[in-house]
Amino acid sequence: MKVLTVVGARPQFVKAATVSRAFAALRPAVDEVIVHTGQHFDQNMSAVFFEEMRIPQPQYQLELGGLGHGAMTGRMIESIEEILQKEKPDWVLVYGDTNSTMAGALAAVKLHVPVAHVEAGLRSFNRAMPEEINRVVSDHVATLLFAPTEVAVRNLASEGIAGARVVRSGDVMYDAALFYSAMGSGQAVAALGLRPREYFLATIHRQENVDDPRRLETIVQALARCARELPVLLPVHPRTRKMLAHSGLDRLLQDERLRLVDPVGYLDMVQLEKDARVILTDSGGVQKEAYFFGVPCVTIRDETEWVELVECGANRLAPPGAVQTIVDAALAAMAARHQPVQGLYGEGLSADAIARALAAAA
């Protein structure tokens, strides 16, 4: 069986690492071909992940980052279609909710190649988010849908997607957290002059936040206020850095207690997450990693697709309409405790389940 895996963005590399390792254990019965669209294309956002996480090097590098949604998705579909016609895979495997996800799914289904979607069934119910469109379209063209949670299974059922097509697989990011959390050097926090449990860790990159000057300014001012309590570390996504400079908001980030650094590798990021007092983020993956490591999280968005984390008290939503909303959530999270929910994201064996299900379906 040949599986063609399409990835392009940092969160997908984390997920793909676990499943690629499971495929390798099934060789020669399973042959994987990896296509990297280039949606995230620089060293800190891409190459370092393949090196650190021991992901097989992609057989195809499309280098299609830095474009608008329409141009990027269109060129990805065109390029992936050519690869599909050459490789003739039995399955196309896509992850998550990026332009790369939807492009891979659409290119495959138009050539009648079955699609498997990992992280299926997530819904924010906000169609203004490009990610929501990507995940809905990918789910509705997929042949096999790997849902990480019971909530995701119910979301799919409400849209008429049920039965043997849907597999409650658990979350491959939990697999990754368990496998990679012990592999770091342990020096990331000290190297930045920080002490465990004595800093906020923040990540901001979503279009709805960084492309809206009012929301971005609210977030920056809130982080500056949080820095009065504890230092704030902000690994800056290239998109965010560009918009901070364009809007002039980088002038508000001169406080030495508010540290901007370039994106870090996965192993260092895991350590920074594990040792943070509170994580403030608009990332879906970071929300879950905070939960895996028992760190309180504040999600700076109007809604989250990981609703179970809010329901169990591990995560607080803080819509960036007012500075004080974010600050209050961060301060409350500093004193928060939550009880892990047994089996919420599986038992750390999701990648093996996915690999076996695809092999059995071939």
Q: If you classify domain 2-171+346-361 with CATH, what class do you get? A: alpha beta
Q: Report how far residue 143's alpha carbon sits from residue 165's, in angstroms, rounded to the nearest whole number.
A: 6
CA pair distance 362, 351, nearest whole angstrom? 17
User: DSSP character for 236?
Assistant: P
Query: What is the secondary structure of 20-66 as a DSSP string?
Result: HHHHHHTTTS-EEEEEE--SS-SIIIIIHHHHHTTPPPPSEE----S
Sorting pLDDT into bands at 50, 70 and 90, what band is 253?
A: confident
The pLDDT of residue 126 is 93
Q: If we measure between CA atoms, which residue out of 18, 57, 64, 24 comes closest to residue 40? A: 64
pLDDT for 342 equals 87
The predicted pLDDT at position 336 comes to: 85
- Write phi, then psi, for 68 (nearest 5 degrees): -70, 165
**Average model confidence (pLDDT) for the chain?**
93
User: Alpha-carbon distance 185 to 194, whole Å?
Assistant: 15
- C-alpha span between 16 and 12 (Å, rounded): 6
- Start-end of H helices in the chain: 10-25, 48-52, 69-87, 99-110, 130-141, 150-158, 172-180, 188-191, 207-210, 213-226, 238-247, 266-275, 284-292, 307-311, 323-334, 350-361
Annotated catalytic, 205? yes
- Residue 45: pLDDT over 60: no
The arithmetic mean of pLDDT across residues 39-49, rounded, is: 63
% of the chain exceeding 70 in pLDDT: 97
Q: How far, in whole angstroms, is CA 113 from its chain's centroid?
A: 25
pLDDT at 48: 73
pLDDT tens profile 314-348 = 999 999 999 999 999 999 999 988 888 889 999 99
Domain coordinates in residue numbering, the chain: 2-171+346-361, 188-334
Residue 54 contacts by C-beta under 8 Å, 6 or more apart in sequence?
A: 17, 21
Q: What is the pLDDT of residue 66?
A: 76
3-state DSSP of 305-362 = CCHHHHHCCCEEECCCCCHHHHHHHHHHHHCCCCCCCCCECECCCHHHHHHHHHHHHC
Residues 208-213, mean pLDDT to the nearest whole number: 93
Confidence (pLDDT) at 46? 60
Q: Please give the Cα distance from 105 to 80 (Å, whole number).
A: 10
Domain 188-334 class, CATH top level: alpha beta
Residue 35: name the closest of 112, 94, 90, 114 by CA: 94
Q: Which of 205, 237, 246, 338 is catalytic?
A: 205
Whole-number pLDDT of residue 182: 79
What integer pLDDT is reported at residue 333 of this predicted model?
Answer: 97
Place of tokens 């400079």: 245
Higher pLDDT, 63 or 134: 134
* Equal fold, 2-171+346-361 vs 188-334: yes
Tokens of 190: 């000290």
Instruction: Give the other-Cβ count within 10 Å of 211's Cβ.
Output: 14
pLDDT tens-place string over residues 122-171: 999 999 999 999 999 999 999 999 999 999 999 999 999 999 999 999 99
Q: Is the pLDDT of residue 176 over 80?
A: yes
Chain segment 278-317, per-residue pLDDT in tens: 999 999 999 999 999 999 999 999 999 999 999 999 999 9
Cis peptide before 28 (omega within 30 of 0): yes
Quote the CA–CA distance of 244 and 47 in Å, as a whole number.
25
pLDDT at 42: 58
pTM: 0.92
